[in-house]
Amino acid sequence: MNPGVVTDAATVVLALEPLPAGQVVEGSPRTGYVELTDAIGVWEHTPGVSTDVEADEVFVVLSGSATVSFDDPALAPIELSAGSVARLTAGMRTVWTVRETLRKVYIAG
């Protein structure tokens, strides 16, 4: 993404691919992303349940709904919907339960 150029994060086309079988807990979720810069991008996850190991990031949910649970029992699950802003740190082990296709803009690092 060059300075002075606008990208519509809500409608940018993402190539969605099935998640690796080892990450799928339930359903047939697919994910995709597009990098806008080295640290900023748009990511999407279709309905289903999957696991992940997170990177450092802050994100804003554009659309959809999901619950993110953590392996760390000290952390309560978070509910995500349009407008939610969240921060994840590197190494967090998560379970994403996506009820409605979730699209977010993330800033990594």
Report pLDDT digits (tens) over 41-55.
999 999 999 999 999
Flag whether 44 is in a domain.
Answer: yes
99: domain CATH number is 2.60.120.10
What is the Cα–Cα distance from 34 to 17, expressed in whole angstroms? 13
- CA angle (80, 47, 79) in 5-degree steps: 15
Three-state SS for 46? coil
Flag whether 88 is in a domain.
Answer: yes
Flag whether 64 is in a domain.
Answer: yes
Flag whether 7 is in a domain.
Answer: no
Q: Tell me, what's the pLDDT at 4?
A: 78
- The β-bridge partners of 59 are 86, 106
Number of domains comprising the chain: 1
pTM of the predicted model, to two decimals?
Answer: 0.94
For CA atoms 47, 73, 85, 82, the dihedral sign is positive
Per-residue pLDDT tens listing for the chain (109 residues): 677 788 999 999 999 999 999 999 999 999 999 999 999 999 999 999 999 999 999 999 999 999 999 999 999 999 999 999 999 999 999 999 999 999 999 999 8
Flag whether 2 is in a domain.
Answer: no
Q: Tell me, what's the pLDDT at 2?
A: 73
Flag whether 63 is in a domain.
Answer: yes
Phi and psi of 24, rounded to 5°?
-85, 125
**Host domain of residue 84:** 23-108
